Chain A
């Protein structure tokens, strides 16, 4: 047990050295860090928001809303395809209910042709189908969402949403956000250093779905005021609360075809406004729409509310337009950012929000570090007083152990949170315990009359069994916690797993190497332990 080959000693020393070196960036204060040579790694441990201060926002998508949007776009797709088919396929009784779309093909002999037109609309890229097609009574087609289609749609929507949020926050400037997807329908946004998340929430809470639709000027104003739309129309509320407007369901332009959006001021009223520029395709559509409907009203709809409904005075060429409404400078700027970064494909709702002020965070770190330091010094003193030379070895091993945990965390880019500190305390405790077990066992073996070499050998061997069992159970607990636990509990589990590995290494393997070298060099006749 006490034999260490030269190669093994070298290997262990190299690991020790690396373990210490990688911890340097995490423990040296920032202002000295830049002066260190380039050969020292720069990875540091991230401090969790509870320690460093900042904002944490958990967003959840509304899958029902997404389904509705999908249904709407499918309906538009089906109508367009039937109209463009040659010969044109007449359909009737289009209905959207229970998440399905169904309609009658007026001439039953065209049913196969209709099916052929729909096929490409419902196929997805992996060769499967997003929607299942059913034909009943010879002429009624029902499209129902396939399970995988719904899943894929949500998955893609969440990916897009993540990108959109990223672009929006980046537009705010120098923040360094972490944006990750969680589960099927959630996104976590963490922004260190941002204490008042209001601006952030305003920005990411906005879906920014922009639509231009023609106002339905034939609609009955009384019905519109009640929120009832006639066939082929939709009713939207005005954003300023001044009533409702009916618009034509089809034939509008979606605002997702923008290449530019900037805050500006309206030249006539001098009020804040936003100018937008469509891409080539959207620009052409916009020109066509304004050409065909000059003199009519069109509504600019943002997130289900009409911002304004101006008259089209003349055809607009070049795809540049201006949106004016009741904006402030700030809200115009926010809208421009939101439009530039694209619409969120799905509505997101804030389900959890946490913010920690930087003062509290700094205070926590300062007092936490002081407490940890005092606690550690006390432990080191009592270990040395109790076990002498062996206690000294344990102490050095313990210090290296702490540094190694920091190193591994820095390399793995792990985040240290308050529960993580609990994990730290537990592993440091376990590391000390390992040495206490070994040293007590050596004492015991000496008392039983064993000679120096044998007592040490037996001490390590007999104690190792309990150390092994205790650490395995901790690993089991840590793995289960990681699997079943949520955010902060996982932080605890991660530190625990790292700490178990490093503490067994330092407390058992490394101290044994030092003890064995000492025994071989000095050949003591008795042990003061």
Chain B
């Protein structure tokens, strides 16, 4: 059987030739993302700002009557609702701020939910109420803080490990790539105004995990080549390492993209935003391993003296083990 080869053998693409351009574009994109997040803001779900979310499906309709619903729910006297498509065309979510005093007396929030669902049921025969979420301001503050801490802790923790296992420059490169990935994904959410909720934090964490995995594979090859070719120019060595791992990079990205695209197109509406964020993250994460994590090593002057005096513990063990001498 002839096997499929997505990437020809022995490619020699000069990836790092464009590193300055790539870096500039990426930095601009990051700044743009930050500006967007600050100016336009993220469309936070009730998980993070508190309030009430009612999900409904219009079973017999092609499309949910969103503008009409805005007027109807808005006329109930609880302020303007945020109504968005949620999954399929006929599925929506209605988000409301909790009314004054709901923190003291949950009954007030209950009444609001009842009024809205009753209004929907009365005016639309085919409506199906799929769920009601009600989150108090105190809990949403906690969820938000905890989410941010979890993200920060994860980024710092794994970067510290890379610093210990490789060299400090690699730790910096990894942290830089991760910040890049997270920032761009947040920018994506600011542009699309897709709902940003707890499951998106999970998506961000998955992107971090994937991007880091990718970065480590490239770094591992760089470390190996640094030991092998002590005299080689660093940018040529990085290009060699990226080219050597290219087949794997493409193949892995493809195998993880396939299930994700399946989730985006046929998966349940509840995780549409989540799956879309991850899909984007795969591209961003793969790109950042090549154009963010690697050039940092040049700028931070990783060179032929790296891994000689201060190599990681595991490398030392390896070097003394029987089979290492046979290599090269």
Contacts and interface: CB of A to CB of B under 8 A. Distances in A.
Contact of A425 (B55, B146, B259): B259
B4 A486 contact: no
A22 B103 CA distance: 45
B142 interface: yes
Contact of B202 (A368, A428, A492): A492
Nearest to A427: B209
B232 interface: no
B259 A372 contact: yes
A496 B206 CA distance: 10
Given A480-B154, A486-B142, A528-B3, A375 B258 contact: yes
Nearest to A479: B157
B96 to A, nearest CB: 14
A426 B323 contact: no
Interface residues of B, number: 78
A386 B251 contact: yes
B182 to A, nearest CB: 13
Contact of B131 (A360, A432, A487): A360
A26 to B, nearest CB: 19
A443 B139 CA distance: 53
A444 B244 contact: yes
A437 B250 CA distance: 11
Contacts of B266: 367, 370-371, 374
A321 interface: no
A435 B153 CA distance: 29
A140 to B, nearest CB: 36
A50 interface: yes
Nearest to A368: B268
B206 A474 contact: no
Interface stretch (A130-138, A337-345, A463-471): A463-471
B209 A351 contact: no
A473 B202 contact: no
Contacts of A58: 139
Interface in B236-253: 244-245, 247-248, 251-252
B216 A422 contact: no
Interface stretch (B13-21, B32-40, B118-126, B270-278): B270-278
Interface in A348-364: 349-357, 359-360, 363-364
A438 to B, nearest CB: 10
A422 B274 contact: yes
B217 interface: yes
B127 to A, nearest CB: 11
Contacts of B138: 60, 351
A515 interface: no
Contacts of A465: 220, 314, 318
A379 B259 contact: yes
Interface string B146-162: 11011001100110011
Contacts of B220: 465-466, 469
Contacts of A351: 135-136, 138-139
A29 B247 CA distance: 40
Contacts of A367: 266-268
Contact of A429 (B131, B142, B256): B256
Contacts, number: 240
A77 B200 CA distance: 54
Contacts of A483: 153
Contact of B158 (A353, A357, A368, A476): A476
Contacts of B128: 357, 359
A352 B139 contact: yes
Contacts of A429: 210, 252, 255-256, 259
Contacts of A443: 247
A353 B205 contact: no
Given A436-B248, A481-B150, A489 B202 contact: yes
Nearest to A362: B268
A359 B212 contact: no
B213 interface: yes
A375 B129 contact: no
Given A356-B130, A371-B263, A486-B146, A430 B213 contact: yes
B1 A528 contact: yes
A58 B9 CA distance: 57
A201 B113 CA distance: 14
A419 B165 contact: no
B259 A437 contact: no
A364 B268 contact: yes
Contacts of A388: 1, 3
Nearest to B131: A356
A472 interface: yes
Given A357-B129, A385-B4, A484 B213 contact: no
Contacts of B254: 382
Max chain A C-beta neighbours (<10 A), residue from B142, B162, B205, B263: B205
Contact of A426 (B1, B154, B157, B209): B209
A489 B210 contact: no
A485 B150 contact: yes
B3 A385 contact: yes
A375 B1 CA distance: 24
B306 interface: no
A470 to B, nearest CB: 4
A489 B162 CA distance: 23
B106 interface: yes
Given A349-B106, A354-B134, A429-B252, A386 B259 contact: no
A387 interface: yes
Given A355-B132, A437-B248, A50 B270 contact: yes
A6 B244 CA distance: 37
Interface in A420-468: 421-423, 425-426, 428-430, 432-433, 436-437, 440, 443-444, 447, 461-462, 465-466
A212 to B, nearest CB: 27
A301 B150 CA distance: 47
Contacts of B136: 350-352
B97 to A, nearest CB: 16
* Interface pairs A-B: 10 shortest CB-CB: A375-B259, A419-B202, A375-B262, A364-B268, A466-B220, A360-B130, A371-B267, A429-B256, A485-B150, A480-B153
Given A352-B136, A383-B255, A469-B220, 9 more contacts: A198-B110, A350-B136, A352-B134, A359-B57, A374-B262, A375-B262, A379-B255, A428-B259, A486-B147
7 contacts: A355-B131, A365-B268, A375-B263, A378-B262, A382-B4, A425-B256, A484-B150
